[in-house]
Structure 1
Amino acid sequence: MKYGSIPAGGQGTRMQPLGFSKELLLVDGRAVIEHLIERMLLSGIENIFINTSSDKSDLVTYLSSKSPYSARCIFMVRERRGLLDAIVQPYQFLRDDDELYFGLPDTIWYPKNSFSTLSAFEAKVSLGLFDTGTPNKFDTVYIDHRGVVESIKVKDPFPKTKWTWGIGKIAVCEISKLASASHAEMTKNY
């Protein structure tokens, strides 16, 4: 089965002072996180894990009681850990043959069916890449000539590529391998 995972525990320090969770910023009359949820649902994902922290009760309240997508959201409220940890944490509730689709809650992707496009790839891990124009402010993704990811550097001050990621998918059976290979990344705060 396909499941969604949204890491929504970030503090939004680059956007403060907002007075509310950045995922609730209105874009085209809706909370920005709802654009991501909509895109996940369009690709056939029915259940979406929202991994957040206890100081973001406004986000949980909104998504659980005011959003048209409330029935699709499963909340994981816990202490902040690394971004990778926030993405893969739902694996503990899933089967090895499930797929976990993820995206950043403050990014709007076009076309709307981008998750369906990722679904078509046979790879165990796939990322949707885009050019922000300012890769030094995001996770810079380095790929080889075949399009295979070589490395991801967080806020690389002098990036040698224009690519960053915003969505992706991972086979649940690969999460434990990824976790052991990048334990340091999973424990960094996001």
Structure 2
Amino acid sequence: MADTLQKIKCPACGREMEKVFIPSEGINLDICTQGCGGIFFDNRELDKFDEKDEDISKILEQIDGKDFIKVSEDSVRICPNCGQKMVKNYSSIHNDIEIDECYSCGGKFLDREELVKIRAEYDTEEERSEDVLRAVYKTVGQELAEQDRQYAKIKSDRSLLRSLIRKIMVK
């Protein structure tokens, strides 16, 4: 969903989020500066800030050194853009950082400090991609090994069945 100047409510604490213009990207981010310190990213916006070399100084200006209210990260969250229930997903295959994602509009909500943690996971997008490929290859390898075990069992069962059929035919 394209960003608008319309104010939205924070999906974590319900407070009105502040629109913060990020000049380097030409976009407005929604930051909960008066509540929990969470950040809402419209579809594909997080990709512009999730790596170490990307500038997040304007974001940090809004949240660094401030006291924020604590919120339950387990509560159900509703997307402030489209009103759909957000889903909890991990930001990477490490399953360390859980973020809220809207499958309807593609928006993502990060609780306070999650952006910094995501940026610390990998130095580059290439490292992130390599990690994903390793995990995929590992999973595919395990699935292929399981298929080989099942095929060997089928061959064994087929051999036993043929033996039984021969015995029945001889009688």
Structure with greater proportional strand content: 1
TM-score under structure 2 normalisation? 0.31
Structure with greater proportional helix content: 2
In our comparison, the structure showing a higher alpha carbon Rg is 2
